[in-house]
Amino acid sequence: MSTPSSAGWYENPDNPEELRYFDGILWTTNTTPLRKRPHQGPVVVPPTSGPQQRPAGWGPQPHQQTGHPEPKSAWPVQSGLPGQPVLASYGLRVVAYIIDLLIVGALSLVFGGWLLWKAVEPALDGFDSAMAAGDVEAMTAAISETRLGYLAAFLGVQLMLFLGYQVFCLMRWAATPGKLAVGISVRRLDRPGPLDADTAFRRAGFQAAVQALGNVPYLSLLGTILVVTDLVWPLADDKNQALHDKVAKTIVIKGKVQR
């Protein structure tokens, strides 16, 4: 026991059952029995007719009928969604997007490759001649010889293929081949299951519209900004939704959507 800093009665270092007086310098011979508080029995809490509610933030609340604590949900709280699904990560969505982009690009070349060739044929001929002559101005002039009508037709075919590809796959499997490859799928915000036609059209239609806007003269900058914003929006969204998800009220989740 440490030496007290001032005079007074303290617990006797030689006998914990009594008090001993310390004069400020030395322990004296004056002692007195230590008085203890009477023993107190356990506090009896009167029973109540129903389960007690804990204050908010004090852990799980008792169930209204069983009285047992409600188990904490294993799903992320930030989702706040019916069924509390596990949201797909942004990385998986990017990989799926690239796969789908390659598939749609291949389909566009199959069904619209002739239109693209007719659009760039005169430009390629002039460009080759300009390169052989080393004429930079002629190269620029050759590019301007692109047949815009054929090019517009090719872009139209590409957009129609994209729209049909997205709508068919979302209604059939709730996922495109790219999403199936990485193990993610799309569902409505308010209920599980494959998408209905209206939701699938709104989701894919928004993407097709902003892509088409990027091909329109004088509006291409706005379209490009919308496309980029749509792609990066999930990074700052609490439900990892892109703009086209918000328009269609959908989310992208891990695993397959239950039918």
What average pLDDT does the segment 97-104 reach?
96
Mean pLDDT, all residues of the chain:
80
Long-range contacts of 143-148 (CB under 8 A, 24+ apart): 146/119, 146/120, 146/122, 147/118, 147/119, 147/120, 147/121, 147/122, 148/119
The percent of residues above 90 in pLDDT, for the chain, comes to: 46
What average pLDDT does the segment 152-165 reach?
95
Site of tokens 């908010």: 56
Tell me the pLDDT tens digit for each residue of 210-219.
Answer: 999 988 888 8
What does the pLDDT read at residue 107?
Answer: 96
The Cα 218–Cα 224 span in angstroms is: 11
Closest by CA position to 226, among listed 209, 202, 247, 251: 209
Res. 127: pLDDT tops 80: no
The confidence band for 179, taking pLDDT boundaries of 50, 70 and 90, is very high
What average pLDDT does the segment 12-18 reach?
84
The confidence band for 258, taking pLDDT boundaries of 50, 70 and 90, is low
Tell me the pLDDT tens digit for each residue of 44-74.
Answer: 444 444 444 444 443 444 444 444 444 443 3
What average pLDDT does the segment 6-16 reach?
84
The domains of the chain are located at 90-110+154-254
Res. 14: pLDDT tops 60: yes
Residue 259 vs residue 198, higher pLDDT: 198
Please state the pTM of the whole predicted model: 0.63
What average pLDDT does the segment 89-105 reach?
96
What is the 3 state secondary structure string of 84-148? Answer: CCCECCHHHHHHHHHHHHHHHHHHHHHHHHHHHHHHHHHHHHHHHHHHHHCCHHHHHHHHCCCCH
Residue 241 vs residue 15, higher pLDDT: 241
